[in-house]
Amino acid sequence: MTFFYLYTDILITYSCKSRRLWRFIMKKKLKAAAGALLCLAAFLFLGGAKKADTFAIGGIFPLSGPVAVYGIEARNGIELAIAEINAAGGIAGKQVVLISEDDEGNPEKTVNAYKKLVTKDKVKVIIGSLTSGATAAITSLAQAQKVVLLAPAATLPSITSAGDFVFRACFIDPFQGTVGGRFAAQNLGKKRAAVLYDVANDYSVGLYENFKIAFEKAGGTLVAAESYSTGDKNFRAQLTKIKSANPDVVYIPDYYGVVSLIAKQLRSQGINTEIVGGDGWGGLVDNAGDEVLKGFYSDHYAGDSTEPLVRKFVAAYTARYHANPASFAALAYDCVYLLKDAAEKAGTTTNSTALRDALAKTNGTYVTGNLTFDANRNPVKSAVIMEIVKKDGKIAPVYKTTVNP
């Protein structure tokens, strides 16, 4: 009996302890669950608040590939502008964030980058892409989905024809080609021009066509027009024909990597005339040598300008990146301030239609000059001509002259 009572006491004691343990465990679980729910609620609330307190700008750039220098400079310019704006309080009290994608200058990858930014990141505004071909791949998408697309450097005229949500910060190919032809004939006094252009590149073809019209209108004669295809590296056959035509100036409307190759081969064949090009020459001085001396190109701004806005921008960019900003950095930097001005006028960062309407009414002064938009959302502004010279043993571009619209 003693054993029975002892056993019973043990069971009762164990049972009571088990119930107390169970209640203790359940209490802990409930507290943990309540804590988890509170954390989740706080996360959702703060996450929503954080999202509501930011203005996300999508960016599409060639950060790798053959024109990566353009994309890196553009992203640098945007990040500098955003840092300045955020330090001053943001846009409408919201901090600005950049969500950037690398398209390698490839139109298919530009489309993929666009879809990711719009569907996943839910951006209402995109800056990009840079080259005309890549940008043209997404203009119709932006228009259809009412996404404000601001192209920093796509100069092909048809870029903005997709509709009223598509803008650009740069002048267009007809103006740039006209500037080159007019400068060669009037400022350099040339009479016989040859052109070497990429027949598969819209940018190159557009500049060539308008250079020809302007040069001939100014009294010059086009004595040779030779072409090649994207990816070609040997231009000796074309240059042999150009040399036999005896030009006194050669127009090379292409991007810096190709221009560097052409210039080397051109000089090696004894063609020592002046060479002229467009804004695609940006970055050339960092990728070429003496062969590009006697070179001139149209550009969007002059880094050696004495204008206060330009001096401020150049100083800030140089301090941040330890490099001198070329036009792609300046154009992209201006894009952010264009959007800032539009958002403040519209009173919104989320209504893309209101942002579009405010952007169309732009009338202000930026690093790349005084800017308004025409009916096709192309900027009305001047171009500068840069001359490539040797300063302190280094190749460098210096301001030559300004050509107005």
| pLDDT tens column, 347-363 | 999 999 999 999 999 99
Q: Are residues 254 and 395 in the same domain?
A: yes
Does 43 map to a domain?
no
CATH at residue 227: 3.40.50.2300
| Mean pLDDT, residues 366-382 | 94
Q: Which two tokens stand for residue 269?
A: 């064949």
Does 346 map to a domain?
yes
Domain count for the chain, please give it: 2
Kindly state the percentage of the chain with pLDDT values over 90.
77
Residues near 107 by beta carbon (within 8 Å), at least 6 away in sequence: 133, 134, 136, 137
What is the model's pLDDT at position 23? 54
CA-to-CA distance for 203 and 211, rounded, in angstroms? 12
Comparing C-alpha atoms, which of 224, 201, 203, 228 is closest to residue 212? 224
Q: Are residues 147 and 201 in the same domain?
A: no
Q: Are residues 90 and 187 in the same domain?
A: no
Q: Are residues 192 and 280 in the same domain?
A: yes
Q: Are residues 118 and 192 in the same domain?
A: no
Q: Are residues 215 and 100 in the same domain?
A: no
Q: Are residues 275 and 396 in the same domain?
A: yes
Residue 299 predicted with pLDDT over 90: yes
Q: Are residues 91 and 181 in the same domain?
A: no
Instruction: Say if residue 18 is preceded by a cis peptide, omega within 30 of 0.
Output: no
CA distances from 301 to 12, 79, 156, 403 (A): 91, 19, 19, 11
Dihedral angle, C-alpha 80, 82, 84, 88, nearest 10 °: -170
What is the model's pLDDT at position 51? 55
Residue 286 predicted with pLDDT over 70: yes
Residue 40 predicted with pLDDT over 80: no
Does 130 map to a domain?
yes
Residue 23 CA neighbour count, 13 Å, CB half: 5
Place of tokens 């892409």: 129
Q: Are residues 158 and 187 in the same domain?
A: no
Q: Can you give the residue range of the structural domain that contains 68? A: 54-171+304-373
Q: Are residues 246 and 144 in the same domain?
A: no
- What global pTM score does this model have? 0.76
Does 21 map to a domain?
no
Does 40 map to a domain?
no
Does 47 map to a domain?
no
Q: Are residues 178 and 289 in the same domain?
A: yes
Does 243 map to a domain?
yes
Does 7 map to a domain?
no
Q: Are residues 394 and 266 in the same domain?
A: yes
